[in-house]
């Protein structure tokens, strides 16, 4: 599928079939997505598309892993051969002034054009091929053989060129689709078996030898190696992976053999998410793309109407020369071809999106590319975005009878399922201090996004009486294994009690009306370090506080500086963390203290974005997807960092930086700006040249060959210009 007109034609024909409920043809991926009626027949559908001269391969339902059938290299395209011979015949014809040679040129060069025109005409679809055919027939009728041959040959060449450049722009996307290997070597019952990646289940262990691609997302269980993640994230240097590290489907294992415990089914791997996002990108067309589509819809019929008018009216009214005006009308038909105009935006967008994807920058559609180019204000999340997100516990203070270790143990128990950086820091610290986990049972945990966690646990009252304290603590009891689910007698023989544990910000604890008296001074002391401080409560009693420290990203200051120098008007910081931590970070990265907002819940971040959008129109939010997904969605464009690790970020963000690098934010904006600029140049170029030729044609100066040469020249320029946007950002 080469051009906008092919896509339109397929859509026109397929949507008219009885079998079809809905159809969407995707030019960029050369795919169509069809919803069949209940009694719909896919074979009949494929037949209808084949009858139009296309090849069809069925990919099945929701197929993301299958690449479209690989295309032959463009040099082997029979159309190129036809056009090539056509050009030679035309040139020889021009030299010898021989009509038979012109006929050969027209027949060969025009073969595919005429064939397309015929099938379009049969379906009453007035497209470019039909117009060109009429122009060529008309030129032959009035004996303008040279002109007829030029029109046909140049038009066919322009079409081929469009197809070839579309293929080129698609290649990056196709490469992505072929990233994840279809087969995996799985350890089952001690032996290695080859399985289709779709048949591998969670907790299977796959073996990846050096030089092989990782087939599924998982955690390294044994072995050590360097993994080249560049196909997915754009990182140029291979990343060292050892036991416990995460590896992604589609990345390349370089030196050692790895055993990987699969954590996600193939359909849920990071690369599958990326592919789905790319597929959906077509639905998020940019404003300019939609404008051109609307424009092209009336442009062609309008110019055709003018052509008819020119052919008929002047001779009838003013007694003009029939031959003369008929010729001018033919020129109009050529001008009616919106080729360069129609391809100007998609070729630019597709090549920008594909180039960006190759670079680990996933942009979900031209719309967001255009938004990136228009951004006037930015909002940054703090933890995990401007900071590394590698928190570590710095100090723990217990109240009264609670030791630091007790506090950590209680907190870790509540946090064990949380993905938050603080949770990981706390759990890591207990491992470090060799505090073993208690044998209690979790009843339910509730996350309070941007604030903390609330855990309800079952306490076994039989054993854990700790001497001296005189109350039940959560402590591990190695001798007491209470299996609450199965051992019902045991269960009944001793008392159970529910306890509620909170770990979180001061705001969260205040909501639960916790009394801070005993630890208030300590809390302020820890907070004054500019750290993140969380309180731990048990049954509404504050039992201790934990201070966590994070490191500012080394690149944060320079990145913000770069953004300011690009003319971004305001940069804000939004965080759920406390005001002192926020202010101290703002100070170290050089942010205006008036643009710092602390103590926010996720919905407060959304409110701030809305205010900024009202003021600036185009506002980006940069976050990591943890507690800021609503804000990412509420921004004109939500940019998620380190998306290779977090599915939420990948799903909700409009732009995902696969690699966890802040410096990519300015380059994404630069890419947006340059793409918008190129699209604008292309549209002006295409429209401008059309207008000039239109003027010349009405004045009777332009000839057929000028019109088609101008069109082809414009297509060439626009394509070359558009492909520029795919260069490395
Ligand atoms: P930021 O807005 O800086 O990225 P978050 O919105 O993720 O931070 O979290 C805001 C604050 O909420 C954290 O600084 C922390 O105090 C608290 N918090 C969030 N989740 C948890 C959790 N699982 N455990 C403890 N505290 C948490
Ligand atoms: Mg965050």
Query: Does the pLDDT of residue 173 top 80, yes or no?
Result: no
Ligand 2 centroid to residue 451 C-alpha, Å: 11
Atom 12 of ligand 1, nearest CA residue: 451
Percentage of the residues of the chain whose pLDDT score is greater than 70: 91
Name the closest ligand to CA 547.
1
- For residue 135, the Cα-to-chain-centroid distance in whole angstroms is 43
Nearest CA owner, ligand 1 atom 4: 383
Q: What is the pLDDT of residue 346?
A: 80
Q: pLDDT value at position 524? A: 93
Instruction: Find which of 228-232, 340-344, 461-465 is predicted with most confidence, using mean pLDDT.
Output: 228-232
Give the CA angle between residues 219, 223, 229 to the nearest 5°.
55
For 201, phi then psi, to 5°, come to -110, 165
| pLDDT at 240 > cutoff 50 | yes
Which range is least confidently modeled, 115-124, 580-589, 677-686? 115-124
User: What is the average per-residue pLDDT within 50-73?
Assistant: 67
pLDDT: is 226 or 32 the higher one? 226
Ligand 1 pocket test: pick from 382, 448, 504 the residue with the most ligand atoms within 8 Å of its Cβ. 504
Number of CB atoms found within 10 A of residue 645's CB? 17
Nearest CA to ligand 1 atom 22: 452
What is the pTM (predicted TM-score) of this model? 0.82
From 54-68, 85-99, 512-526, 618-632, the region with the lowest mean pLDDT: 54-68
Of 397, 379, 435, the closest CA to residue 548 belongs to: 397
Residue whose tokens read 């302020």: 524
- Is 70 exceeded by the pLDDT of residue 551? yes
Which of 422, 446, 506, 624 should be mutated for ligand 1, with most atoms under 8 A from CB? 422
Residue % of the chain over a pLDDT of 90? 42
What are the pLDDT digits (tens) for 363-389? 988 899 999 999 999 999 999 899 998
Residue nearest to atom 16 of ligand 1 (CA): 505
pLDDT at 112: 85
By the 10 Å C-beta count (0-12 exposed, 13-18 middle, 19+ buried), 73 is classed as exposed
- Model confidence at 460, pLDDT cuts 50, 70, 90, reads low
**What pLDDT is recorded for position 493?**
47
**pLDDT tens readout for residues 526-537:** 999 999 999 999
Q: Is 426:433 a contact under the CB 8 Å cutoff?
A: no
* CA-nearest residue, atom 9 of ligand 1: 450
Q: Return the ligand 1 atom nearest residue 419 CA.
A: 23
Q: How confident is the model at residue 488 (pLDDT cuts 50, 70, 90)?
A: very low
Q: How far apart are CA 221 and CA 242, in angstroms?
A: 8
Burial (CB < 10 A; 0-12, 13-18, 19+), residue 122, is: exposed
Looking at all shown ligands, the one closest to residue 623's CA atom is 2
Q: What is the pLDDT of residue 526?
A: 94
Which region holds residue 265: left if phi is over 0, alpha if psi is between -120 and 50, else beta? beta
Catalytic site residue 381? Answer: yes
Query: Is residue 53 helix, strand or coil?
Result: coil
Mean pLDDT over 88-112 rounds to 92
- pLDDT greater than 60 at residue 461: no
Q: What was the pLDDT predicted at 458? A: 79
Ligand 1, atom 20, lies closest to the CA of 452
pLDDT of amino acid 285: 79
Range from 3-17, 88-102, 254-268, 573-587 carrying the lowest mean pLDDT: 3-17
Q: Report the separation in Å between the CA atom of 447 and the middle of ligand 1, taken as the mean of its atom positions.
A: 10
pLDDT value of position 237: 86
> What is the per-residue pLDDT for 429?
94
Question: Which tens digits make up the pLDDT trace of 275-329?
Answer: 777 777 777 778 888 888 788 778 888 888 999 998 888 888 887 788 888 888 9
Nearest ligand to the CA of 507 is 1
Residue 61, pLDDT score: 64
Hey, which of 575, 606, 621 would you mutate to test ligand 1's pocket, going by the most ligand atoms within 8 Å of its Cβ?
Answer: 575
Sequence-ordered list of residues with C-beta below 8 angstroms from that of 265, at least 6 positions apart, any chain: 198, 200, 201, 202, 216
- CB burial class (10 A; 0-12, 13-18, 19+) of residue 174? middle
Does the pLDDT of residue 469 top 70, yes or no? no
Q: Ligand 1, residue 628: give the atom nearest the CA.
A: 6
CB-based contacts of 170, cutoff 8 Å, min separation 6: 28, 29, 30, 350, 354
Confidence of residue 476 (pLDDT cuts 50, 70, 90): very low
Q: Give pLDDT tens digits for 136-172.
A: 999 999 999 998 998 899 888 888 888 887 777 777 6
Instruction: Using the structure block, give the residue that is written with the tokens 């044994």.
Output: 222
Could you tell me the pLDDT band of residue 404, with boundaries at 50, 70 and 90? Answer: very high
3-state percent helix, strand, coil for the chain, nearest multiple of 5: 50, 20, 30
| 552-577: pLDDT as tens digits | 999 999 999 999 999 998 999 999 99
The confidence band for 397, taking pLDDT boundaries of 50, 70 and 90, is: very high
* The pLDDT of residue 544 is above 90: yes
State how far the Cα of 452 lies from the Cα of 505, in Å rounded to an integer: 6
**What's the pLDDT at 543?**
92
Residue nearest to atom 10 of ligand 1 (CA): 576
Q: Is residue 472 pLDDT above 90, yes or no? A: no
Look up tokens 């935006």; give the residue.
Answer: 345
Q: How far is the CA of 540 from the centre of ligand 1 (A)?
A: 20
- Using the mean position of ligand 2's atoms as its centre, give its distance from the Cα of residue 382 in Å: 6
Q: Which atom of ligand 1 is nearest to the CA of 578?
A: 14
Three-state DSSP at 257 gives coil
pLDDT score at 71: 59
Ligand 1 centre distance from Cα of residue 235 (Å): 29
385 CA: nearest ligand 1 atom: 4
Ligand 1 interacting residues, C-beta cut-off 6 A: 381-384, 415, 418, 420, 422-423, 450-453, 503-505, 532, 534, 575-577, 626-627
Ligand 1 centroid to Cα of residue 438, in Å, is: 24
- Tens-digit pLDDT profile for residues 650-695: 888 899 998 888 999 999 999 999 999 999 999 999 989 989 998 9
Question: Over 540-551, what HEC string results?
Answer: CEEEEEEEEECC
Residue 450 alpha carbon to ligand 1 centre in Å = 4
pLDDT tens, residue by residue, 264-281: 998 888 888 887 777 777
The Å distance, Cα 574 to ligand 1 centre, comes to: 12
Compute the mean pLDDT over every residue in the chain, rounded to the nearest whole number: 85
Q: Which of 381, 577, 628, 660 is catalytic?
A: 381
Section 429-455 average pLDDT: 85
Backbone angles phi, psi at 379, to 5 degrees: -120, 130
Nearest CA to ligand 1 atom 13: 577
What integer is the mean pLDDT of 245-257? 92
Instruction: Note the pLDDT of residue 535.
Output: 96
> What is the number of the ligand 1 atom nearest to the C-alpha of 384?
4
């Amino acid at each position: 599928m080469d051009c906008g007109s092919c896509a339109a034609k397929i859509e026109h024909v397929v949507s008219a079939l009885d079998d079809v409920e809905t159809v969407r043809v995707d030019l960029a991926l050369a795919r169509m997505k069809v919803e069949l009626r209940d009694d719909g027949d896919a074979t009949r559908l494929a037949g209808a598309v084949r009858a139009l001269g296309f090849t069809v391969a069925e990919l099945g339902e929701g197929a993301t892993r299958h690449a479209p059938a690989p295309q032959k290299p463009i040099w082997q395209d029979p159309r190129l051969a036809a056009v090539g011979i056509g050009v030679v015949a035309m040139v020889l014809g021009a030299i010898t002034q021989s009509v038979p040679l012109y006929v050969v040129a027209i027949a060969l060069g025009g073969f595919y054009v005429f064939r397309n025109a015929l099938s379009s005409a049969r379906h009453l679809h007035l497209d470019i091929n039909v117009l060109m055919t009429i122009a060529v027939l008309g030129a032959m009728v009035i004996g303008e053989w040279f002109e007829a041959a030029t029109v046909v040959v140049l038009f066919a060449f322009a079409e081929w060129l469009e197809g070839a450049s579309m293929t080129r722009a698609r290649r990056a996307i196709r490469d992505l689709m072929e990233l994840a290997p279809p087969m995996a070597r799985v350890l089952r019952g001690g032996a290695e078996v080859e399985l289709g990646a779709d048949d591998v289940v969670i907790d299977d262990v796959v073996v990846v030898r050096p030089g092989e691609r990782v087939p599924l997302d998982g955690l390294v269980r044994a072995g050590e190696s360097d993994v080249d993640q560049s196909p997915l994230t754009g990182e140029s240097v291979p990343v060292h992976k050892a036991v416990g590290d995460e590896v992604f489907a589609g990345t390349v294992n370089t030196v050692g053999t790895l055993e990987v415990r699969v954590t996600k089914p193939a359909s849920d791997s990071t690369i599958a998410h990326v592919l789905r996002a790319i597929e959906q990108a077509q639905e998020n067309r940019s404003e300019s793309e939609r404008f051109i589509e609307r424009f092209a819809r009336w442009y062609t019929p309008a110019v055709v109407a003018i052509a008819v008018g020119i052919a008929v009216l002047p001779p009838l009214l003013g007694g003009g020369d029939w031959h003369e005006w008929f010729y001018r009308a033919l020129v109009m038909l050529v001008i009616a071809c919106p080729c360069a105009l129609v391809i100007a935006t998609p070729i630019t967008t597709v090549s920008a999106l594909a180039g960006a994807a190759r670079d680990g920058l996933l942009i979900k559609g031209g719309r967001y590319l255009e938004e990136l180019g228009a951004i006037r204000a930015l909002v940054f999340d703090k933890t995990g975005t401007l900071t590394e997100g590698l928190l570590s516990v710095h100090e723990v203070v217990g109240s009264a009878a609670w030791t630091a270790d007790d506090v950590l143990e209680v907190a870790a128990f509540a946090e064990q399922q949380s993905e938050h950086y603080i949770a990981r820091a706390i759990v890591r610290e207990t491992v470090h201090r060799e505090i073993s986990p208690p044998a209690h049972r979790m009843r339910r945990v509730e996350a309070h996004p941007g604030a903390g966690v609330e855990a309800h646990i079952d306490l076994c009252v039989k054993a854990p009486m700790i001497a001296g304290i005189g109350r039940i603590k959560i402590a591990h009891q190695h001798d007491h294994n209470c299996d609450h689910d199965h051992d019902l007698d045991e269960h009944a023989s001793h008392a159970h009690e529910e306890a509620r544990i909170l770990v979180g910000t001061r705001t969260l604890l205040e909501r639960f009306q916790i009394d801070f008296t005993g630890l208030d001074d300590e809390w302020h002391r820890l907070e004054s370090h500019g750290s993140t401080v969380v309180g731990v409560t048990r049954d509404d009693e504050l039992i201790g506080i934990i201070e966590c420290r994070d490191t500012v990203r080394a690149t944060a200051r320079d990145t913000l500086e770069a953004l300011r120098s690009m003319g971004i008007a305001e940069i804000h910081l939004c965080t759920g963390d406390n005001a002192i931590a926020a202010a101290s970070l703002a100070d170290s990265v050089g942010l205006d203290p008036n643009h710092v907002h602390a103590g926010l819940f996720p919905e407060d971040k959304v409110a701030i974005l809305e205010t900024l959008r009202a003021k600036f129109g185009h506002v980006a939010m940069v976050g990591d997807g943890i507690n800021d997904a609503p804000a990412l969605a509420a921004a004109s464009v939500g940019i998620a960092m380190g998306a290779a690790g977090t599915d939420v970020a990948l799903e909700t963000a409009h732009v995902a930086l696969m690699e966890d690098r802040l410096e990519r934010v300015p380059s994404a904006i630069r890419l947006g700006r340059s793409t918008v600029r190129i699209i604008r140049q292309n549209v002006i170029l295409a429209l401008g040249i059309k207008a000039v030729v239109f003027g010349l044609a009405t004045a009777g100066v332009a000839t057929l060959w000028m019109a088609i040469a101008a069109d082809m020249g414009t297509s060439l320029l626009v394509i070359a210009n558009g492909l520029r946007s795919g260069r490395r950002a």
